[in-house]
Structure 1
């Protein structure tokens, strides 16, 4: 089989923040130089992708990126959104009210201002960490009905029991995509929430059609819950060695831990003879 496209998750798969191994960089640039399309598919915001995309040659080769777990497809060359899917203002207000009901911390990426996030507290570890990591200013929301914006994605955090109750209600009320993001302690839980129809798989399928590439000609590499559908859809879904067990179980292959350049090893296995 001749594979024509590689879809790469970033954090925990290709990179750690903005650190990428020389082996991964070399392998990805080799693929791009050999007319193999490489698409970043991540939960990160556009701004948080830019440095990595430049380092990997994604921008140089005019490759679009998939952001916010499929919520946005972006073209860095034209600085233009190709496609986006967002939470409506009504949904934004509802989620803030539900977060208050279940006493959990909330972070929402603003659509109107790409340097802003809405939060319901300024004192949680998650909110402070997100501020530092995303470099976004945060605006404390005291009354959700004052919001006049939409949202790309939510990150929620809190006591595991409360977050799971919140998640259950969300899944009953809406058809949102809810992903386990990370576990802080045995008693705490973080989740990512994306709008209905926002999944890396959906965005990747959209781009594959534009390039006239079949799913069987796609290799996808990932590690987390937000990679699940993408890995199942691709002709070859590959889990890195540090991936969660349920991700390995649905993948066609497993490569090395991301700290051991699993992406480079997978590219060498499937492309370099």
Structure 2
């Protein structure tokens, strides 16, 4: 108790409820933690544009990890580091989506493209992350096996029916470690909370790794503790227990 200086929060399925809102309980706990000098950051698969309204709602000026670690921001207005996928890699991933007839999306610096995008100019964009979605688990596993064989991608998910691809070695953990370097703190002083496979690396490496009550089974298996669900304000519960009881 009292040794943790920073809490890193996944957003969807963790901080946010199923209506994509921050509950009053979670907001109040975050405000109390920051008032005590604790550092609250977002560590999310979302892009910066999508995450920023929630950052502003909470009044945070702290660093953030977005796109599963492909971008680390020193503050909401200052980018620290960006790690890109090559256009050729995105071309190969896009081809794989077409061959398997599944939904896909791709994060670029300028926005998000998907299967319904009218124009996809691979050479004109700086690419951050690629994803697939299908409820056909056999098809999803076939795609995963293929991209694993390439050996150049970090492979996770944010839902049991999707796959998320980042440059090899880039994860929420690598982003969080960079934030710790910026702030002069240790990973042992960090609490990391999440619900999906893309949270596993940071949950494993943090001083206290927390799985949500609604987390995927593998996340619960590797976490130090499992808390309440995102509908039960699990973030507030962990903040009250581990940051406000110093």
| TM-score, structure 1 as length reference | 0.82
Bigger Cα displacement from structure 2, 146-155 vs 66-75: 146-155
**Gapped runs of 5+ residues in structure 2?**
none
Aligned residue among 212, 226, 237 for 2:198: 226
SS at 1:241's partner residue? coil
Farther off after superposition, 16-25 or 163-172: 16-25
SS in 2 for 1:247: helix
Alignment partners' CA distance in 2, 1:107 and 1:205:
27
Shift in CA distance, 21/65, structure 1 to aligned 2, threshold 3 Å: same
**Alignment-derived partner of residue 159 in structure 2:** 182
- Residue 76 of structure 1, CA deviation: 4.9
Please state how far the C-alpha of 1:75 moved relative to its aligned partner.
4.5
User: How big is the shift at 1:2?
Assistant: 1.6
Aligned to 2:138: 161
Asked if 1 retains the 8 angstrom alpha-carbon contact of 2:74 and 2:179, the reply is no
Q: Which residue of 1 aligns with 2:63?
A: 64
Q: Which runs of 5+ in 1 are unaligned?
A: 123-137, 184-188
CA RMSD, aligned part only?
Answer: 1.8
TM-score (structure 2 length as normaliser): 0.91
**Separation of aligned partners in 2, 1:35 and 1:271:** 10
How do residues 190-269 of structure 1 correspond to structure 2 at under 5 angstroms?
A: 190-269=162-241
Number of residues of Structure 1 aligned to a counterpart in Structure 2:
242
Per the alignment, residue 106 of structure 2 pairs with 108
Q: Within 1, Cα distance between the matches of 2:172 and 2:215?
A: 17
Q: Is the 8 A contact 2:38 2:243 kept in 1?
A: no
Structure with greater contact order relative to length (CA < 8 Å, sep ≥ 6): 2
Please say if 1:19 is aligned against 2:14: no
1:107-126 equivalences in 2 (<5 Å): 107-111=105-109, 113-114=110-111, 117-119=112-114, 121-122=115-116
Structure-1 separation of matches of 2:216 and 2:207: 20
Match status 1:80 vs 2:78: yes
Q: What is residue 149 of structure 1 aligned with on the other side?
A: 125
In structure 2, distance between residues paired with 1:154 and 1:19: 25
Residue in 2 aligned with 1:50? 52
